[in-house]
Amino acid sequence: MAWMFHKSPTFDKPWRDVPWGNRNDDLDYVKNFKPHSAAQHLRVLLHGPPDSGKSSFINSVDSALRGRISTRALADTGFEESFTKELLPGSAPTGSYYNETPTINDKVHVLVYVVKANTFNLMEDGPVNKMREVREEARKLGIPQIAVLTKVDEACHMVQKDIRNVYKSKSLKKKVEQLSGFLGIPINCIFLVKNYSTEDETDDKTDSLILRAMRKIIDYGEDFLNDTFSPMSNTENTN
């Protein structure tokens, strides 16, 4: 009866509740979002190693919003994908991004770390080390930070079977804890996501995870804009 001693790869109950039925609500929220009047759009910087799923995440958000798989060029979406660029174009006189008088529209409003969940060991993944430097810079600038752990389907076969197992998976919970410790980001700012990759149609459950993450990204970005333009200060905080 050896099977009796096998540990289950999943918890009986999810460690985070995903309101799977909330997809339409989150969809409306993200669709109808208008940034703080002082900014033309919310600027989100996706930061992560090559192949971590940054472009796929941008396309997946677009797909979820449009209700069909999208692969359009993403100019003017407010997203930027990067692994090296400065967070604040005026912060360092290096490269072609130097801007002596950055306005709120030039600044990054939310920093999103994108890491693949099937990375063997986050600590040993050289590129992930680079994120800690960026994190320090973001912290000094007061920029909110979120992490998205992608490729949850490839990281856990129980999730591949049924995406609703995502917050029940023991191995994924471990990855989240590992990333939280490594980057110093609280667990409630880390989101598990499966990007659209091979699908030719969108799916409500996959949408739910993508839109939930996007909703949080928006909320944190808005907090940053509201803090920068609080009624207490009538001048823009350029630090």
Ligand X SMILES: Nc1nc2c(ncn2[C@@H]2O[C@H](COP(=O)(O)OP(=O)(O)OP(=O)(O)O)[C@@H](O)[C@H]2O)c(=O)[nH]1
Chain positions contacting Mg ion, by CB under 5 A: 54-55
169 binds, among ligand X, Mg ion, none (CB under 5 to 8 A by kind): none
DSSP state of 184: T
What, of ligand X, Mg ion, none, does residue 52 touch, CB below 5 to 8 Å by kind?
ligand X
- Residue window 115-154: x/- pattern of binding to ligand X, with contact defined by CB under 6 A: -----------------------------------xx-xx
Neighbours of 47 (CB within 10 A): 26
Q: 152: burial class by Cβ within 10 Å (0-12, 13-18, 19+)?
A: buried
Task: Output 56 or 228, the one with its CB closest to ligand X.
Answer: 56
Minimum CB distance to ligand X smaller for 60 or for 145: 60
Q: Which residues contact 223 (CB under 8 A, 6 or more apart)?
A: 144
Can you tell me which of 63, 195, 208, 228 binds ligand X, judged by CB under 6 A?
A: 195
Q: Which among 48-56, 66-74, 175-183, 212-220 is the span making contact with ligand X, rule CB under 6 A?
A: 48-56
Residue 155 CB, nearest distance to ligand X (Å)? 9
Among the listed residues 43, 47, 56, 88, the single contact to ligand X using CB under 6 A: 56
Q: Counting every residue, how long is the chain?
A: 239
CA distances for 96 relative to 48, 66, 75, 85, angstroms:
21, 34, 19, 10
- Residue 223: Cβ-neighbour burial (10 angstroms; 0-12, 13-18, 19+): middle
Q: Between 46 and 143, whose beta carbon lies closer to ligand X?
A: 46
DSSP string, 218-239: HHHHHHHHHHHT-TT--S----
Nearer to Mg ion, 79 or 167 (CB): 79
